Every structure is written in C-alpha cells, then in structure tokens.
C-alpha cells in the first residue's frame, strides 16, 4: 500500500505542466513597509519617506522592499487553491530554498499583489518526503510585468 508521501508525489507529479492557479490580493500599505523596514533596519528613503520619494524617486511614491515581497510568499501562496488531497497526512512543510528569484517591477505603496503558482517539478526523496518546486509569480494589480518571479522549493513531510 502506498504511503501518504507516495500518494502526494503522484498528485504533485500529475500537476506538473498544468496552468498556474492564482491566490488572493494583498494590499501593500505604508505601515507594512515601515514595519518591515524596522525589522530589517532598511530605512532607505525609497521605502519610508513619501516626501523624498515625491522629489527624488523615479516612482514618485515609496516602494516595498523586494525582500518584503519575497517574505510575503508564504501568505500569498497559502491563498492559492490546491488539491486538498496533496495535504492528506502531511505533518510539515519546510522551506528548502529558491533556485531563482527575480525582482522585476517595484511594488508601489497602496498596490495590491497576488501570487500565481504552478508545480514545476516534484521528487520523492523517501516514502514520506516529497520535494516540490513551484514556479511562483507575484503580480501587481494594474502592472504589465510581475513584481517577482521565483522557483521555490519546499519539502513536504508526510506521516
């Protein structure tokens, strides 16, 4: 009888090549940007000073830190619908890293962003561990280019 991990592997493998699914919009507020600046000690004016941005920034308004957008992937990807059978018996999901991350368009304060996700690759590491690589794109409402594109690798451990 197959393990939960082997069952999940089959489901993820079947999803490779399928069109991306899209999650919910999240607004990027100045308060969120300021909070991230405080946590990371990155108070560059392009993030936290609207008056200086109006005068000196090519965007005219504050922009989110690229790493803020990256750090929101857990929330953004978490809102993307997935086959609930992929989670049956899952004990934990572990962030394994990224093969590629690109910041393509700045996220201006007041913008809304959302993620689109497609399963790019899957590997059964052992009968209870599945490594999943997802192609993640973060869209900015009203922009033609995405804010971020990444290949995110996670390990899913099943019991």
pTM of the model: 0.93
16-52 pLDDT, tens digit per residue, is 999 999 999 999 999 999 999 999 999 999 999 999 9
User: Nearest CA to 107 among 29, 42, 24?
Assistant: 29
Domain boundary assignment for the chain: 4-158
Residues 89 and 159: their CA atoms lie apart, in Å, by: 6
104-137 pLDDT, tens digit per residue, is 999 999 999 999 999 999 999 999 999 999 999 9
Element (H, E) at 9: helix 4-15
Return the CATH fold of 4-158.
Thiol Ester Dehydrase; Chain A (3.10.129)
């Amino acid at each position: 009888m197959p393990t939960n991990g082997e069952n999940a592997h089959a489901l993820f493998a079947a999803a490779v090549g399928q069109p991306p699914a899209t999650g919910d919009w999240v607004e990027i507020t100045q308060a969120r940007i300021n909070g991230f600046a405080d946590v990371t000690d990155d108070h560059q004016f392009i993030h936290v000073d609207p008056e200086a941005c109006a005068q000196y920034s090519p965007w005219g308004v504050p922009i989110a830190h690229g790493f803020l957008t990256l750090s929101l992937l857990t929330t953004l990807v978490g809102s993307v619908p997935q086959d609930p059978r992929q989670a049956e018996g899952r004990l934990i999901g572990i962030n394994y890293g990224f093969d590629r991350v690109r910041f393509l368009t700045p996220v201006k304060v007041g913008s809304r962003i959302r993620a689109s996700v497609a399963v790019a690759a899957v590997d059964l590491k052992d009968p209870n561990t599945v490594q999943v690589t997802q192609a993640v794109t973060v869209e900015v409402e009203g922009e033609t280019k995405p804010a971020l594109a990444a290949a995110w690798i996670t390990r899913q451990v099943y019991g």
